[in-house]
Amino acid sequence: MPLAFLWNTCIYNPDTNALMRLTLAFWPFGHATRTATLREWSRYANA
């Protein structure tokens, strides 16, 4: 899944992470996508 790949890459690349956040900010439904992604990440982090 492209977004999953980008998310995993961004964890290790602050510059890409900033670019991804900027892209999602203007991407249709970007806010919902970012929120869902953070929720999923938190679920695994807290497991």
Distance of CA 9 to the CA centre of its chain: 10
Helix (H, G, I), strand (E, B) or coil at 32: helix
d(CA 40, CA 26): 21
Residue 37 lies in a domain: yes
In a domain, 47, yes or no: no
The CA–CA distances, whole Å, from 21 to 10, 16, 36, 47 equal 10, 9, 13, 25
Is residue 29, in this structure, part of any structural domain at all?
yes
- The residue range of the domain holding 7 is 2-42
What is the pTM (predicted TM-score) of this model? 0.26
Instruction: Give the number of domains in the chain.
Output: 1
Task: Flag whether 19 is in a domain.
Answer: yes
Q: What is the pLDDT of residues 2-41, one digit of tens each?
A: 566 555 555 556 666 777 777 766 666 555 556 666 777 7
Domain-embedded: residue 17 = yes
